[in-house]
Structure 1
Amino acid sequence: MIDPNLPIQSKLQHHQIQPNVRQPARSETFSQLLQSERHQLTISKHANERLTQRGIQMNQAEWNTIHEKLKEAGKKGITDALVVTKSAALVANTKNQTIITALNRQEASSHIFTNINGTILLDS
């Protein structure tokens, strides 16, 4: 039984329940996990369909380069970029690291791109 003459603070401390803290399975901290999740390159459903329809294929090294350049462009204030590679022209949002649409280079040569504020050339 709790003594009614004890101060309220002491009563609360006496009856506090220790939370069951679950440790992450990995050695990553929550902050590191959040940081890595937030900075992954995403391909929208629309862009994925266009890549498939147009037969555009890129290897992992090319996707990694695009991802790095989008992060760099975002740091320079670019929000929507046109990414031009040997085989494709991609429109991407730098803030959420998402490829929005994709065209092959032949199609891109006859298009006008709007609503972009930067271009990344990866033609080599």
Structure 2
Amino acid sequence: MNHIKAGQIFYPQPQPAVKPVPSTRKGVSFDSILSQKIKDQQPIEFSNHAIQRLEKRGIELSEEDLNRLSSAVQKVKAKGANESLILMNDVAYIVSVPNQKVITAMDRSSMGENVFTNIDSAVIV
């Protein structure tokens, strides 16, 4: 950090102009938009069921895996998905997209002949 000494003149650096984002929705409050943006940036959560399945099947997620999974959820959320199948590292995750919550997870050996229903999107990461 630069310190200004007595007698020095400080010239502030020009800042880029911030253009207001036009609202496509009428009647939407700033608070609701801010709350949604904050929610969108929260990390992905895991249901108790998903945690049990991960532990039972010995599936471990690194920080990088969590980031990739969260990124995949954000991508399908931007497309308007509600329930998504995300395939990553030979593991299938069923995710409630609006809640950003993993509902269940299974590894390749547990997938077998499973049929995935009630999903509206799939992502291969």
Alignment TM-score, normalising by the size of structure 1: 0.67
Whole-angstrom distance in 2 between the partners of 1:72 and 1:90 = 15
SS at match of 1:83: strand
Alpha-carbon distance in 1 for matches of 2:37, 2:101: 16
Cα RMSD after superposing both structures: 2.0
CA distance in 2, matches of 1:119, 1:34: 23
Deviation at 1:106? Answer: 1.6
Whether 2:97 is the aligned partner of 1:94: answer yes
Give the aligned partner of residue 121 of structure 1.
124
Letter in 2 for 1:56: I
For structure 2, the residue ranges without an aligned partner over 5 or more in a row are: 1-30
Contact 2:53 2:106 in 1 (8 A): yes
Alignment of 1:57-72 (within 5 A): 57-72=60-75
- Paired with 2:55 and 2:38, the residues of 1 have a C-alpha distance of 27
C-alpha distance 35-76 of structure 1, shift in aligned 2 (>3 A): closer
Runs of 4+ in 1 over 2 A off after TM superposition: 30-40
Larger radius of gyration: 1
- In structure 1, runs of 5+ residues without a counterpart are 1-29
Q: 1:78 to 1:37 in 2, by over 3 A?
A: closer
Q: Could you tell me whether the CA contact under 8 Å between 1:92 and 1:101 is conserved in 2?
A: yes
Counterpart code for 1:77:
G
Question: What TM-score, normalized to structure 2?
Answer: 0.66
Q: Of residues 52, 77, 80 in structure 2, which corresponds to 1:77?
A: 80
Aligned sequence identity (%)? 25
Distance 1:33 1:116 in 2: 26
